[in-house]
Each structure stands twice: as structure tokens, then as C-alpha cells.
């Protein structure tokens, strides 16, 4: 007989092509994959080839790891198979995936099936477990606590005029932008009003400068933060700068914002945490904030302007400090966790 018949290659049946691919148990950096295939020649399959790619869009990350293979060669394990970590899967990112079955030959080469159809899926946000890891990293650098007495919000005059005319004097929650960690479960989903509470070290008062407009709404801390408020940790990030931001969420107990956060964010003890505390001393509420991080506080209910004061600030508008849609520095060792970027 001729050589090809002796080696059995010529008669080799084609390997079954995976079809009806299903993706399940999606997290921010893993997923399970399974598929159907013909029983014929099934026993010859030794490996699966999985081709995973970020769904390209115009503003996709140009600095894709060139050295990270998009094809995973996996031993043929029972399905569903868990895929994790091989590609630094990013949270909240769209991917395409296709699969081949393969049979490893004696010489080390593979015989492979046709590729399956390509399917798309999107990875999930950070879970509470991941956020707790971020929280622990933030606690390390929070620094000592300083007293505060007010929360404040800077905006342009037009914003406050509009609030008075169109919203019956009440500032309205709006959807949080995409600044901060890419896996943050609050970005693009949680509705709230941003407040600051950092004070100047020497005066104990809010700084006179702001990136967000020349008018400032100031409100006594206890109007927003008291024992009827739940406090949640939302995010920890920096933007290629030396200073770090921590996002906290203040949600009135039982409010829609509170229900949203309960499912997704680590809750903090309002009297005892490293970022923002509210405690009673001699019948008076006393407030402290962390010195070494910039706190961004999201309050999840409308706030009436009559509860505080609006006045023009004397300082500068420091646009460079604005965090609108700011991208987190993925290489910072201080504020990144080891799961999906």
C-alpha cells in the first residue's frame, strides 16, 4: 500500500465542527463556554482551539497586548469549560469568540476542524468581591481623618438657574459618567448628585478653587449624611496623577439608590471606616474625611437648594482637576486589582 494509506491520514474523517455555542457564568474576567457537535469522530478530539477577540470599535484600546495570544489551545475537557485569565479579559467589554476541535498527531502537529460560527458576548462589571479588593487598596492610602462640616457642589450659574426654574428648586440625580475603573458597576447606571467634602488642611474649610464652575452650593453635612443614610464604597482610581480618587455613595435608607447599591457595592459602617465618618459626640454630629484621597460623594436623591446656600467662589477654575469621563491609569500599582483591566 502507499504511504498515505499506511499512516491513515487519507481516510481520516473530518473533525466535528462546534455549533450552537453557549456562553454562561460571565464575570468581569471569566466565562463558561459549551457547544454541540456530532458524535462522529468525537473520540479523536484531544484539544479545543478558542479564538477570542475584543470587538473592535473606533476608540478601542490601541495598545492591545501584542504578546497576548488570542488563540487558546485547551485540552479537551468536558463541557462547559471555564475560560479565565488567559487574555487579561477586561470587564464590561464586548468580545467575539469562535471554536475549533483539534486532534494532536504523533509528530506534534494538529489536525483541526473548520471554525465554528462567531458569537459575541460582553463581560460583566466588577462584583462585590472585586470592589472589596479595591476598597482594601484604598484603605491603605486614605491617610488620617480631618474634620468637615459641609458638603459642596460646584457648578455654573446656569445650572442653578435651571434647577430653580425647571425643577422646582431641587437638584436632580443624573446618571454617573464613565470615569474611574472600567469595571465599575455604577458607571452609566447609578443616578445621583456629585458632592465634594475635602477641606483645606490649614483652614478646615472647602478649597476656594474648583474645576466645575464658579458657583458653589454648600450644605451642612448632617442634611445629607446621618444615621438614616447608608454609605457605600463605589470606586478607587487615579488618572495618571499622584493623587487618588475614592467614590462613595450616600443613599437614604430604602431609597432606589440604596436598593441599587445593596446589590452591587460593599457597604461601609458610617461610624467606622477609613474615608468618611459620621458619629455623635455629646449630642452633636461630628464628621471626618480621609486626608490623602480626593473623595467624590454621590448622593442618590434630589436635593433642594433651600437646604443650603449658593455663592460665587473667589478662587480659580482648575479644569485640569476635572474627572468627567476620565480614564483610569491601568498601570498604577496602587489602585488596580489583578482581575480584568
pLDDT of residue 222: 94
Strand pairing report for 294-299 and 245-252: parallel
Kindly state the helix (H) or strand (E) to which residue 262 belongs, with its residue range.
helix 256-264
Who wins on pLDDT, 295 or 200? 295
**Which whole number is the average pLDDT over 36-40?**
86
Which run of H or of E encompasses 263?
Answer: helix 256-264
pLDDT of residue 17 exceeding 60: yes
Query: Where do the CATH 2.60.40.10 domains begin and end in the chain?
Result: 19-123
Provide, rounded to the nearest whole percent, the portion of the chain with pLDDT above 70: 86
Residues counted in the chain: 341
Q: How far is CA 241 from the centre of its chain?
A: 19
Highest mean pLDDT among 87-101, 119-133, 257-271: 257-271
CATH class of 19-123: mainly beta
What is the pLDDT at residue 266? 96
Q: Which of 229, 204, 230, 217 is nearest to 289 (CA)?
A: 204
d(CA 24, CA 28): 12
Cβ–Cβ < 8 Å for 61, 88 = no
Amino acid at each position: 500500500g502507499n504511504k498515505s494509506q499506511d499512516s491513515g491520514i487519507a481516510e481520516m474523517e473530518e473533525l466535528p465542527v462546534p455549533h450552537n455555542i453557549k456562553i454562561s457564568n460571565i464575570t468581569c474576567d471569566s466565562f463558561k463556554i459549551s457547544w454541540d457537535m456530532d458524535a462522529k469522530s468525537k473520540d479523536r478530539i484531544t484539544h479545543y482551539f478558542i479564538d477570542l477577540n475584543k470587538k473592535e470599535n473606533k476608540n478601542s484600546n490601541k495598545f492591545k497586548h501584542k504578546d497576548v495570544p488570542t488563540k487558546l489551545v485547551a485540552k479537551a475537557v468536558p463541557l462547559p469549560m471555564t475560560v479565565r485569565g488567559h487574555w487579561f479579559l477586561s470587564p464590561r467589554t464586548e468580545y467575539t469568540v469562535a471554536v475549533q476541535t483539534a486532534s494532536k498527531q504523533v509528530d506534534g502537529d494538529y489536525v483541526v476542524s473548520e471554525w465554528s460560527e462567531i458569537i459575541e458576548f460582553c463581560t460583566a462589571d466588577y462584583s462585590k468581591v472585586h470592589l472589596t479588593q479595591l476598597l482594601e487598596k484604598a484603605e491603605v492610602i486614605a491617610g488620617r481623618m480631618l474634620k468637615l462640616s459641609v458638603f459642596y457642589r460646584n457648578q455654573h450659574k446656569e445650572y442653578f438657574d435651571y434647577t430653580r426654574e425647571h425643577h422646582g428648586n431641587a437638584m436632580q440625580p443624573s446618571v454617573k459618567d464613565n470615569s474611574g475603573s472600567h469595571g465599575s458597576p455604577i458607571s452609566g447606571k447609578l443616578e445621583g448628585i456629585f458632592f465634594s467634602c475635602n477641606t483645606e488642611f490649614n483652614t478646615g474649610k472647602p478649597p476656594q478653587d474648583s474645576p466645575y464652575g464658579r458657583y458653589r452650593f454648600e450644605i451642612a453635612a448632617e442634611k445629607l449624611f446621618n444615621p438614616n443614610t447608608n454609605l457605600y464604597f463605589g470606586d478607587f482610581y487615579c488618572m495618571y496623577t499622584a493623587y487618588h480618587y475614592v467614590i462613595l455613595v450616600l443613599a437614604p435608607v430604602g431609597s432606589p439608590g440604596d436598593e441599587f447599591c445593596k446589590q452591587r457595592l460593599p457597604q461601609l459602617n458610617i461610624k467606622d471606616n477609613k474615608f468618611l465618618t459620621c458619629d455623635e459626640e455629646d449630642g452633636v454630629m461630628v464628621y471626618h474625611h480621609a486626608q490623602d484621597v480626593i473623595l467624590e460623594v454621590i448622593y442618590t436623591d434630589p436635593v433642594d437648594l433651600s437646604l443650603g446656600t449658593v455663592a460665587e467662589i473667589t478662587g480659580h477654575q482648575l479644569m485640569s482637576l476635572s474627572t468627567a469621563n476620565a480614564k483610569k491609569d491601568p498601570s498604577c500599582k496602587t489602585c488596580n486589582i489583578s482581575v480584568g483591566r
